[in-house]
Structure formats: structure tokens, C-alpha cells
Amino acid sequence: MKRLFFLPVSLGIMLTLAGCGSSEDTEDNKVVEDSEETSSQPTTESENAVEKITVNLKNTEGDEVGEVNLEETDRGVRILLEAANLPKGTHGIHIHETGACEKPDFESAGGHFNPKNASHGTEHEKGAHAGDLPNIEVAEDGTIKEELLAKGVTLKMDQENTLFDSDGSALVIHEKADDNKSQPSGDSGDRIACGEIGK
């Protein structure tokens, strides 16, 4: 009689222990799976690609007047410009060939970014430079918030049209509007703001 009583009790204990072991195994597998998923996630930056970069804009006196965010997309580099304390009106804006913004004239930034040796301007039959961008409009209060797309450039370092070549590049705002055809820079006047994109 005692044997019949202890038999179901023993079976119950064994089943309970087996269930605990199965639960622990499941938890262990979940940790391994989570770890594997985490390690296989792509990173936002790799050795040959930069997904995003922030550039500080400075005026001819060296004061910071704004910020530009550049982001790699499948259509080109998206440029998000936000600035203040600029002269109101229409201004030319270009990507220049050298990542150096030495005040007061920013001539250190060189000419327009132009890896294919094209002519300047969207209205020129042999244009445009890869660094040519649409004009921007600064409000009465000297502020601007605008999005532009640079289709002819990339943030991928192993490409011919990369903004991260050996001497970098720069974003430059000019005092006047770009006429989109005059050589070599659209008759857009002096350089009034500059931001170093990188080297």
C-alpha cells in the first residue's frame, strides 16, 4: 500500500523537475538568439561609408551662425540647413573642393567640388558641377531652415565623388544669388559663411 502511495508522488516530482529543466533550456536559447541578433545588426558607420555628419557654419568673423546635417540617401546627399544672422535675400550655396574654412574670405575652400570637370551651372550645356546647389532664401530676420539634395556627391569614402577625399570638402554660402550659368561660380560674389565637411 505504501508503495502505491509513493509511486505517483515520485512521478509528480520527476515531472516537475523535468519541466524546470526545459524552462531553463528555453531561457538559455533565447539569450543566445538575442546575442546573435544583436551582433548581426548593421552599423550606421563602416570603414567606407558615413551615414550622417553635422557641419558647423561660421561667418567671416569666425562666429558660428548655423548647423548643417548631411545624410546619405539612395538619391544623393540630403542637406538640412539651419542658420541665423545671415544677410536677408537670395544666396548661392555650393559644395567646395577643400575642407578648409580660413577666415575672413574662405578662399582656402578652393573652387566648386567638380570631380568630372564639368562647367558651372544647371543652365550651362556642359554643367553642372557636382557641388552646385539651388539658391537659398534667407528671411527678413536673417534666419533660414531649408532642405537641399546634392545628387552628384556621396558620403561613401571609396567613391570618386566622395566628399571625404584626401583634403575633404566644404559648404559655402555666397553674398549673392547664383545665376546658374556664369563661369566659374555663377557670379555669386564673396563667400560669407563656410563649414568644413571633413578630410
Q: What is the mean pLDDT of the chain?
A: 80
d(CA 198, CA 9): 74
What confidence category does residue 20 fall into, taking pLDDT thresholds of 50, 70 and 90? very low
CA atoms within 13 A on the CB side of 125: 0
Distance of CA 193 to the CA centre of its chain: 20
- Which of 23-27, 96-100, 137-141 is the least confident region? 23-27
Cα of 52 vs its chain's centroid, Å: 2
Would the pLDDT of 76 be above 90?
Answer: yes
Q: What is the pLDDT of residues 38-61, one digit of tens each?
A: 332 323 444 566 789 999 999 999
- The answer, yes or no, to whether residue 65 has pLDDT greater than 70, is yes
Whole-number pLDDT of residue 171? 97
The per-residue pLDDT for range 91-137, each reduced to its tens digit, is 999 999 999 999 999 999 999 999 888 878 776 676 578 888 999 99
pLDDT for 47:
54
Task: Tell me what pLDDT residue 127 has.
Answer: 59
Locate the domains of the chain by residue range: 1-41, 45-198
pLDDT in tens, 153-173: 999 988 999 999 999 999 999
Q: What percent of the chain has pLDDT over 70?
A: 72
Nearest to 123 by CA among 73, 181, 69, 45: 181
Position 11 pLDDT exceeds 50? no
Chain-centroid distance, C-alpha 109: 20
Q: Is the pLDDT of residue 68 over 70?
A: yes
Burial class (CB in 10 A: 0-12, 13-18, 19+), 62: exposed
Fold of domain 45-198: Immunoglobulin-like (2.60.40)
